[in-house]
Amino acid sequence: MIQRKIAVLTARADDHTQMDIICGVVKAAFSENTDVVVFTNIHNHWIKDEVLNFENFIYDFFDPKEFDGVIVTAEAFMDTSMFSSIYERVRAAKIPAVVIGGDIDGFESMHCDEEQDMEKLCEHLITVHNITDIDILTGPEGNVVSHRRVSGFKKAFEKHGIPFNENKVYFGTF
């Protein structure tokens, strides 16, 4: 029997969330007699530093033709655009590709429903604690998850007839 092999591309594998994802993937893969190869860096990717960014060369060693599938944890990366050539190679290899916490053309997307979760959170603040003056701190302005979270807050405000103030939205780094 030929051993199957999948790749996981992530960042900061020492982060608890990433460790949980990797452990879950490994457990499921091993139960299916599939090997897992993890490509990761450990630097603080929020810092723009040329020396630290050398760690990203690890992803150049990923050759999709050597794998039966790939999982990318997009939420772990501040900017996934640096991987556009990798995504093209994955598409060309025609292997199954999954992205967790993001959207990549041609990849199956898996993520929580940030919009619904944030709507429920805001609902709780409004209905249980009677709080209606809320500032929103979300992720980077160019990140789709950031906007899903803001949309959830807007829905809760609209549901209760509370005016939504765009000046109370702050974009950050998660």
pLDDT in tens, 103-136: 788 898 887 788 998 999 999 999 999 999 999 9
Say whether 37 sits in a helix, a strand or coil.
Answer: strand
Angle in degrees, 0-180, between the axes of helices 144-159 and 114-127, rounded to the nearest 10: 40
pLDDT of residue 84: 83
pLDDT of residue 14: 82
The Cα–Cα gap between 12 and 76 comes to 7
pTM of the predicted structure, to 2 decimals: 0.69
Cβ–Cβ under 8 Å, residues 112 and 118: no
The Cα–Cα gap between 58 and 162 comes to 49
